[in-house]
Structure formats: C-alpha cells, structure tokens
C-alpha cells in the first residue's frame, strides 16, 4: 500500500513538472506571445481612475485612458459616404456626450464618434464631453434633468433644442443614426419607449 502511494505521489510530481523546451525560433516566439498576453491581461485588470465632470478630449485620449481610446479609434472604419452626408448638417449642431471612463460601451462608442468627427473635420468646440461615475452622476449635477440612464448618451442639439439622442449604442451605426437624427428622420434610440 505504501509503495503504491509513493508511486502515485512520484507520478503526480512528474506530471506537474514544468518541462523546459529547447530554444528554437518557434518556441521563443510562442513563449514571448504568452508572456505578452499575461502582461496585457494584468494591465487590463487594473482599474483606471473614474473621471467625472466636464473633460477635454485629451483627458480620455491620453494616458492612462489611451489603453482603450487609441486602439478603438485606430481600427474604426468610418463610413465616408455617410460622413459626407452628415457634415453639412452639423453646421449649427452642438453635442453633449455623457460617458463613463469605466464603461465598456463608452470605451467603444466615444472613440468611434471622435473618429467620425475628425474625418468630417468638425471642431471639438461643438462637443461637450461629460464623464460620469457609475451612478451616472457628476459632482456638479451636469446630468440633472437630462434623463441619463445609460452611457454613453450622445445628445444632439440644434440652436439649443434637443433633436434626439443615441443611447448606449447606435441602432444601425453611429454614422447612420447621426444622419437620421440631423436630417430630422423619425429616429428612436435603443431605449426609447
């Protein structure tokens, strides 16, 4: 019985032992990728500070928030045909963007929104960026009376009057939803009743 137990323990140790691989170009690349993946996962797990209040675009596009802003911005393929149709409609428009630096939907949609604006050469002065905490509030109560239930919420105004809003994610695409809103088409955001 003791011999069987010793053999089982020995086999267990042998099975769990890390075997060293020969250093070949293939193995080196694999182990480097594994190391990078582990580091990236650890970095993603770190919580970034939550910004609240009125922000500049720079506040969310530079460190530490650039870890989500830059990659999303870089890969978003702006629909140039729709952007061309939107641009003239943006002349007297102002947008309030409520977002959470902690929110995955905000981390996806807001960089894409800025890429569309950049492609159309729309001034950042036309956008008021407001970051909220997890309760969707700000210390200055900037959300008061605006029914901010989900983020991001992009509220489009023409001459101070709300036209409509994109809530959390577009119904079709950011470009198509913006075109529908700015051209006065019947548009209902994701959470509209």
Q: The domain spanning residue 118 has which CATH number?
A: 3.40.30.10
Residue 154: strand, helix, or coil: strand
Q: Residue 185 to residues 15, 179, 181: CA-CA distances in angstroms?
A: 66, 8, 6
Low-confidence ranges of the chain (pLDDT < 70): 1-46
Q: Which residues contact 136 (CB under 8 A, 6 or more apart)?
A: 98, 100, 143, 148, 149, 150, 151
DSSP structure class, residue 161: E
Per-residue model confidence (pLDDT) at position 193: 81
pLDDT at 30: 37
Neighbouring residues of 9: CB distance < 8 A, sequence distance ≥ 6: none
**pLDDT at site 26:** 42
Structural domain contains residue 1: no
pTM value is 0.76
Q: Can you read off the two tokens belonging to residue 185?
A: 């088409």
Asked whether residue 5 is assigned to any structural domain, the reply reads no
Let me know if residue 74 belongs to a domain. yes
* Residue 103 burial (C-beta neighbours within 10 Å; 0-12, 13-18, 19+): buried
Flag whether 26 is in a domain: no
3-class state of residue 156 by DSSP: strand
- Whole-number pLDDT of residue 172: 97
Contact (CB, 8 A) for 55 and 98: no
- Does 140 map to a domain? yes
The rounded mean pLDDT for the chain is: 83
The CA-atom distances, in angstroms, between 73 and each of 28, 40, 69, 177 are 32, 19, 6, 19
The answer to whether residue 48 is domain-embedded is: no
Residue 90 belongs to a domain? yes
Domain presence at residue 152: yes
| Number of compact structural domains in the chain | 1
Enclosing domain of residue 165? 53-182
């Amino acid at each position: 019985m003791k011999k069987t137990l010793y053999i089982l323990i020995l086999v267990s140790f042998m099975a769990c032992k890390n075997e060293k691989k020969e250093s070949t170009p293939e193995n080196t690349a694999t182990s480097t990728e594994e190391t990078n993946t582990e580091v990236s996962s650890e970095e993603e797990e770190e919580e970034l500070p939550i910004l609240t209040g009125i922000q500049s675009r720079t506040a969310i596009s530079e460190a530490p928030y650039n870890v989500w802003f830059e990659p999303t911005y870089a890969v978003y393929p702006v629909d140039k045909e729709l952007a061309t149709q939107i641009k003239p409609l943006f002349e007297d428009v102002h947008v309030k963007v409520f977002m959470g630096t902690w929110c995955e939907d905000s981390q996806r949609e807001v960089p894409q929104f800025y890429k569309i604006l950049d492609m159309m050469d729309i001034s950042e002065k036309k956008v008021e960026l407001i970051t909220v905490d997890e309760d969707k509030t700000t210390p200055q109560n900037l959300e008061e009376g605006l029914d901010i239930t989900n983020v991001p919420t992009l509220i489009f105004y023409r001459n101070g009057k709300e036209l409509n809003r994109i809530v959390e994610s577009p119904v079709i695409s950011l470009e198509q939803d913006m075109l529908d809103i700015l051209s006065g088409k019947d548009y209902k955001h994701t959470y509209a009743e």
